[in-house]
Every structure is written in C-alpha cells, then in structure tokens.
Structure 1
C-alpha cells in the first residue's frame, strides 16, 4: 500500500496495454463506421492511421516508464 501512495511503484504501465486495445477497437469501429457511411478509402485510412497512431503512442509511453525503471535501478545501485 505504501508503494501506491508514495509513487515507489508505477501503476500506469499496466493500464497502457488496456488503453492500447481500447484505442485499436476505437480506430477499427470508427473506420468501419466511415466505410458504412459511404467512404471506403477514408474508412480504411482511418483504420490504418488509428492503428499506427495507437501503437506509436503506447510504445512511447512504455519507453518513458522503462527509462524511469532503469534510472531507478541506477539510483538504487549508487545508494548502496
């Protein structure tokens, strides 16, 4: 419980995977909606762009948290 209140352990990386799947579902659902409204090319581009954007954004978030974890390891090593 202490880790949760004092930010010793990051919780957000666990939610990034869930957020990634929600973003993928949203991109596909939005693209399919656009396809059914009559614009097939725009719908396909929405799906493709949404999938690529979701992946890049989530990867960048994961990289930030991995940098934080590695810096924490370095700091712990220097304290000892």
Structure 2
C-alpha cells in the first residue's frame, strides 16, 4: 500500500489494458452500428464501412495503447539504470 501511495508503483499500465478492451468493444459496436445504419437495412457499402471501422478502430486502439505502454517501459528501464552503482 505504501508503494501505491508514494507513487513507487505505476497503476496506469494495468488500467491501459482495461482501456484497450473498452476501445475494442466500442470499435465493434460502432462498426456494427454503421453496418445497420442504412434506411433499407444493411447494404454492401455499409457492411464494408462497418468492417473497416472495426478493423481500423481495433488497430488504432492497439497502436495508441502500445505507445503508452512504451512510455512506462522506458520509465522502468531508466529506474534500473539510475539504481546501478556508478563507476
């Protein structure tokens, strides 16, 4: 608990995983919504746009979350370097 209160442990990387899955869920729901958004039901155009939205949304969410995780990995590695004995 002390590590958490003194900011020695990062909580955000765990939260980023949850955010990633929420973004994926949102991309799928949004894509399905676009597929069935036509007045006369789904057509080839709306289905294609929905599938592109799903794929693009999931890919974008993955890239964004990975970039955030990279920042935390850099922080962890800098901490290791700083704790090494100096020569």
TM above 0.5:
yes
Aligned to 2:2: 2
Does residue 14 (structure 1) correspond to residue 21 (structure 2)? The answer is no
TM-score computed with the length of structure 2 as normaliser: 0.83
Q: Give the alignment's Cα RMSD to 1 decimal.
A: 1.3
Detail structure 1 runs of 4+ shifted over 2 Å in the superposition: none
Aligned to 1:37: 37
Could you list the runs of 5+ residues in structure 2 that have no partner in the other structure? 39-45
Q: Which has the larger radius of gyration?
A: 2
Taking the aligned partners of 2:57 and 2:11, their CA distance within structure 1 comes to 25
Could you list the runs of 5+ residues in structure 1 that have no partner in the other structure? none
Following superposition of structure 1 onto structure 2, how do residues 21-60 of structure 1 map, counting pairs within 5 Å?
21-38=21-38, 39-60=46-67
TM-score computed with the length of structure 1 as normaliser: 0.89
Taking the aligned partners of 1:74 and 1:28, their CA distance within structure 2 comes to 41
